[in-house]
Structure 1
Amino acid sequence: MRIQRLDLIAFGPFTDESLEFSQQGPGLQIVYGPNEAGKSSSLRAITDLLFGIHARSKEDFVHPYAKLKLGARILDSKGKPFDFVRLKKNKNSLQSPDESESYPDDALDRFLGNVNRDLFVSMFGIDHERLRAGGEEIVQGKGDIGELLFSAGAGLTNLRTLQGELVEQSDRLLKPPPGRSGEIAEQIKTYGVYRAELRDLQVSVDTWKSLTAARDACETRKANLDEAIKKVRTQQNRLQRLGDAIPLIGRWRALSDELKYLGDAPILTGDFAERSQKRLQDLRVDEQRHSAASQKLKELKAELAGLSVTEELLCRADEIKQLVESLGAHRKALRDQPRLIQTVEFNEHEIIEILKKLGREPDVSKLDQLRVPKMQQERIQKLGNQQEFILSQPKVHQKECERLRREHARVEKKIAETTVPPELDRLRHAVRDAMSKGDLEEQLEALLDEIAELEQQAATCLTQLPFWDGPLSEIARMEVPFPATVDQYQDRFKDQESAIRQLEKEIAKTEREYEQLEIDLQSLEATHRIPTLEELEQTRSLREAGFELIIQAWREGKATEEEIEAYIKQRESAEDLETAYRSYVDEADQIADQLRAGAEQVANKQKLIAERMRSERQLASLHDQLEKAREVRRDCEEEWNLVWEPLNIAPGTPAEMKEWLRARQEIAALVGHLEAKQRDADRVQNQIDTHREKLANLLTEIDSQSISRAATLEELISAANDSLDENERRISQLAQWREELGKLETGLEEAESELAQAEQDRDEWLANWSKAVKVIGLGGDAQADEANSLLSDLSSIFEKYQEDKKGDSMALVCTPTLAKVHM
């Protein structure tokens, strides 16, 4: 079996921690850390994982006893993994990782084989205490047997080498070179820093759950906001497209109005004027022809009505026809002769009048000089038809140029009057930044409500916390002892209290035995008092002292009066040295006789006295032991008080302080949560202040308006949006005007180009016109009507001239034709 991963879900100081042992193949993996880091708890976790969480487990100082939970992934000899969790239960403690399925209690037997808990602990679960105990046995044994036994039990080899290395490392750690603090001191300092960081980072389960719930709520809110932003962006894109279409719509409406004003007017081609003039001339010619034909038809109808035809005449129709033709011609000639003569005369008169009107010499014989070729006439007519159009075009284009210039100046003025602040992008980015964080003021209000609630809750908990009257701010920063330390003192106090109670029980028992011995002695002496050997020895000693004084006084005279007086005073009834001496001799003999007479009673009494002395010694020893135990208890209490002295706490019992640590941990968690909320509130307040100041400054720069410093962020965002909308409208209007200005500039360029072309066409036409009308004697400033009238007059002159020539010829042939008819 090989452990691939150990999950410390809820065990000892751990919460949702995992140790990975994923190295492929066999090898050694070391788990190390400072004191109180949880190494021993991890080792015990492996044992409890494989064989069940111990019924009296001490790993419940963070998590409730019933909530202890471990998990792991282990591999069998074939490398097949098995994932499971171990719960604190009497039955069905092995379950699947999601706790949806229970495994049988013997599910791990195929991995463990015949190894039970005790064998596993002795072979693989050696901890610090067992290691230390084995080391002490080796040191005490000073031989190879203890080393071999300990090595075999612990699975170690080369123990002496390891001992040497440990001593060397211990010297390096505990005996640093001069001027250095040593690795332990440095590690302790680092440990303190990490411990402070760990304390700041630790949160309770309730806090973690509340934070998780808050995170889920934020994620839900973020999803809703993302959806809302998506909809707003869709609407924004729609409005943007509508905004882009506004200039085109305005242009379309203007063109539609112009088109509506024009009504159903047809679209004219470029040569419409020329073709129109030509059609008008053709119309006038056709009208004249129609009028002449109508008159002729009327005359023929009248003449036809007056005819009367006979049969004979009809038989000679051909001849008559021939004669008629001849007669008709003759008659017509006779009829027309006067008219023709009159017409000739009239025409000549009109020709002369026309020539006079034209300022020409009234000489009909020179009429051919005025003849204008037909092509020249057509050219003059063509140029005359173009005159009005050609001469009006420069004026039309000039007026269009002036109109476009006025429009250009008007639009330029509007553009100049419309200013868009350059800080608009900065304001837009500032609004976007302020709105991207959500409703900060609402968040701040929610945080302040949470802070007030947490402060009230923490204050309530603090008033219920005994042994501490300091401020709430220090409760989370206190360097409190570890729960394991409290457990150690609790065990020590428990052991010491048990030892003291045991000694007190033994003392009470010994005192009762001593009192019983006293009662037995008193009873024995009350029956017949028997002196003791001590009394006999004491009396003999006094007897011998008196004898010595007598000998000294008799032989040597060295005995002083003070010594003799002191000896006599020990016997109140004696008056002198002799009397005192004799009394002690008698008393010693009497005691000896009494002892001999009551030997059995003496033996009993001696036995009772010996037992009493033993009891006295035992009581003295027990009292010494009790005093030492109480001294140890007092030392332990002093140590216990020293543990809490840096916190200025007069501690209660370890059980009370354990409960105090739990309550303090809850308060510290509240304080940590409170401080986190306060930091969040400060962060949000800073964001609000930053955005408010930025927006206020930008609005002041853009709109030159005084912004109240008391304005809320929401009000500033609303004002900024209003300013952005107004400036966006200006930008849109400015873009529209610039587009219109560009079109006006383009139109002006085209109009000026067309004006130049019209002037060029006019100059060319004037040159051609002057050249064309010069033939008929007109100047270049002559009007087309004038030229057409002149051409019409000339045409009339030549028509009348032709009629005159025709009339003369008709008069000449009139007589021969008449003679032929009469024949």
Structure 2
Amino acid sequence: MRLMRLDLTRYGGFTDRVLDFGPCAPGELDLHIVHGPNEAGKSTLLNAWLDLLFGIGRTTSFNFLHPYPALQIGALLDLPGGARELRRVKKDRDSLCDADGRPVPDTLLHGAMGGIDRSACADMFALDAVTMERGGDSILSSQGDLGQLLFSASAGLAELGQQLERLREGADGFHRKGGRKTALREHLAALEALTAERRGLDVLASDYRARREALGLARTAHDEAAGALSRAAAARDAAKAALDARPWLAEWGAVTAELAPLDVLPDAVPGWDQAVPRLIEEELRLRTEAAVNAQALARIADELAALTPDPAALALADDPGFDEELRARFLAARDDLPRRLAELAQAEATAAALAARIAEGADPTMLRIDPAALERLAELATAHEGLAAHLASARA
């Protein structure tokens, strides 16, 4: 872990003071010396660094400028997972947070410090004149964390007695003569329990064969029971459907009685429901054509009545010297006249038949309708077609 920047936001006599140590230049010494006269704040800076790592104590003497709730220390640290910007405030819980104010567990810094506590960190990395004077006797006696640390640096044998004592305690905990709660005895007891359990679970080959046969019979019985259950469920569903249909039985009888008189009627031609709209449309078209043909017949009759025969022109028509084009047209019209008359007769018969369908004994000439009325009639016929379809759906 490397300290890249220390922010004395509100701590001791400092407000928004920043110490930026910059990035580490590869290949160069990474050593910074902070110096200043007495009372410049060097001890405050050192204590702020420890408070950032381990938390601001319940009581602190660095609140003479800023009150407890306002105390805040920040830093930019180069941690194993990358650079992190952290802040420490004066709180009992969740006092460490990131740059956005989200709480960060203290284990993040404790892991980077190797798990040492505040006292050990102060002895190893925050020595001052008072600490060195207080630890002089412990250095000579090789006692205490600081004395053992410095003694190990010179002799390399620090904590040897503690290591031997821990090893001795571990050996006694595993096995001690006459001991009743050692780890070895616990493991032996567990082994005996597992051996007894294994013996209880062990079965003879004959018993295993009999149990396998019993298992096969049980599976067969289970399959048969499952089939019976499925058949019973199907029968239950059929009975439920029959019970659900019982309330409709009376209505079914009433509808059957109502339809009984209609049995003598012939069955409808397949597809009649699709043919009815087409027939209605065809009827409307024929009526319209009949009306138009009636108007044309009346117009032609009026034109024929208005014609005055010209004997001289009729005499010239049989003259061989008459204009050939006019003669050809005359002859074609004369030859076409019977067919036209036949079509007229057919149209009159159709009109008479339609008139008979509309009103018995009606005169077709009296049924002629003007084009505006025909157009309105076409609209009404279209609307009638839609209503007929709705009526058929409602009847169905």
TM-score by length of 2: 0.34
Which protein has the larger Cα radius of gyration, Structure 1 or Structure 2? 1
Which one scores higher on RCO, CA 8 angstroms, separation ≥ 6?
A: 1
Higher share in helix: 1
Higher share in strand: 2
